[in-house]
Structure 1
């Protein structure tokens, strides 16, 4: 982990975090807060009340033009054409081999304007891939540097932001977006998140980001870092690129067949369709691991001493007070309730296969 910012990219809130006691680290080429008061306390704040995250490092691409929807339709697995104005969907960019280039969220702002939010580590790659496949009539604007993005998450998040914005955001359905204003500044409000809790994600012009962050804090939102965000997404069973997803992992084995259209054509569709029909060789599963030891990425999963899979992510869940993990396991062993062992530095630790949705309130 980096101990200095050096030439790392900085969000509009980068100077604010250290002043609030954040410990800063390098993440995907960005200088980001990993924690403030403590990862467990921050995770509990989100589960029980409301926390906020600087997620300005995530890429934000605006696609504009009459052919924007058809163009993105050929690149993504989900049905972009099914979106109405103000609706959003989770989706994937896939390569010709059926592997995942990235997992994304697509927001339809109008019939000729889409917002695509991508992972920070893949932003440059994604921008090039999308740009390469766009017709001349569709433009791509990368608004990452000009805006900030703040996630406000937790059972009281929507009420807090509604009060601050003087707008009843409880009326905004999940996976929908609306334009709003706060203190004279335009804000895009999306009812989306990555924690397994209700909440919103706010996009605001960079110069106003610190004012909004401070106002959210004063209203009661607890600043949270990447550590809590990772813990919460594992509890919710959400994939992280580089762990549960990469260009050699297909959506079916990753349990994401529900965001893959069975009818439309897109890059990699034939391969993915064949895997769906034949069944994947392995499946992504949840594990409850005995004791408090954390199962780390790369640890082997075994049955009777035979390796049948590998851990992708793990944590000790403060919500469940038990060790949990996700792992790819050979399909014949990937049944719920199955008993396996995790090889932790040569020591077999008992574990049980369970649903990946360890904790979810949405």
Structure 2
């Protein structure tokens, strides 16, 4: 049964998107179907049957649809509205970075993360394959659930932190922009002739939006998707917008709260406009990178490199210690058993800007290094992420960065939600 949301006149409350809210001369694809002064977004959910012990979720919709011919795609519309879009199609800024960062704490932002990678893993052996190739326990998950998992080297050095959705016919992996190609190639490399597994990069065939902030739930209610509010992290369901597939999941790249929307590019513009009309503030990639650092979410080529292992990155929630053999498992088990983690990723509140790679010292002795830096909402706010030796410093301690920068070690939200095992526990 289709659920229809009618939004009076699609009022956009911010001047920076007033152009985006008006149809172009030839009109976006959905405008021709909705000529009235009100804009209608139809979300049709497939039926979900529940029993006391199990949930049967609908089949995943295919994501190989080609968008219909339109005069302006989503990025064209944003560019015409004055948004800064890079040559490689990344939305950089809406010239509202401070407002967007404030909305993360007090409202809701919507971010276009379509430049992130989406990898579809299908075939009868897909669950066992991913179970063996990354750190999470895929065999304990069921259709409609999700998890974070880390791709590591055989010695447990970090490659990327990925979010996975378990669908009926496939597993969808969301990975960082810089690792999508290498992870796709790596997974294909480990497929043996007898394995029934197929790997497909569907990044260009899909769009990805995320909602962040305490008012994300209200946006979901406004979309008639309130039944997802309060569901466990990774829970996702399939809908359609004007006949085009949309998958909505709990959580986003930097938090277990908020929501993610995977959709066909043809639906992107109408869904984006509707989310804005419900009060969301758009955020560009420049502000998103600041938010990533402030939240403490590690990123490839910065915190996730061949220099650091997955436990030093403090990604405990993504690791199963009970599932048996998988890539990096021997190293991880040894580090846990013998308490061998020698350093840890922390947030560092800085007195001045710091270059990534700058040494962290205490009493003139190097104890770590800065991996990421971001300025805060004000020019006087400076924040970094960095690895520090376990015995050298912990939360609240003072450190020095570079030659004359003072830093205070602080916990950050993303890492604070990680749950390492208690000492002496193997679970």
Pair 1:280-2:336 in alignment: no
- Would you say how many aligned residue pairs link Structure 1 and Structure 2? 341
* Separation of aligned partners in 1, 2:305 and 2:77: 33
* Separation of aligned partners in 1, 2:282 and 2:262: 17
1:119 to 160, 176, 181: 176
**What are the equivalent positions in structure 2 for 1:74-153 lying under 5 Å apart?**
74-110=132-168, 112-135=169-192, 136-153=195-212
Shift of residue 79 of structure 1? 0.8
1:159 to 211, 215, 218: 218
Q: Between Structure 1 and Structure 2, which shows a larger proportion of strand residues?
A: 1
Paired residues of 1:73 and 1:266 also in contact (CA < 8 A):
yes
Pair 1:356-2:356 in alignment: no
Paired residues of 2:250 and 2:256 also in contact (CA < 8 A):
no
CA offsets 1:141-183 (integer angstroms, 9 cap, x no match):
3221111111122211232133124653315332211112233
Shift of residue 194 of structure 1? 3.1
Paired residues of 1:98 and 1:268 also in contact (CA < 8 A):
yes
Q: Which sits farther off after the overlay, 306-315 or 135-144? A: 135-144
Shift of the 195–93 alpha-carbon distance from structure 1 to 2, 3 Å rule, reads closer
Q: TM-score, structure 1 length as denominator?
A: 0.86
Paired residues of 2:255 and 2:414 also in contact (CA < 8 A):
no
Q: TM-score, structure 2 length as denominator?
A: 0.74
**What are the equivalent positions in structure 2 for 1:1-362 lying under 5 Å apart?**
13-25=74-86, 30-110=88-168, 112-135=169-192, 136-165=195-224, 167-196=226-255, 198-263=257-322, 264-276=324-336, 277-290=338-351, 293-318=352-377, 322-343=381-402, 346=403, 348-357=404-413
* Separation of aligned partners in 2, 1:266 and 1:249: 18
The alignment partner of 1:168 has SS state of: helix
The alignment partner of 1:31 has SS state of: coil
The alignment partner of 1:74 has SS state of: helix
Paired residues of 1:20 and 1:36 also in contact (CA < 8 A):
no
Structure 1: stretches of 5+ with no match in the other structure: 1-11
Partner of 1:6: none
Paired residues of 2:153 and 2:327 also in contact (CA < 8 A):
yes
* Separation of aligned partners in 2, 1:358 and 1:57: 22
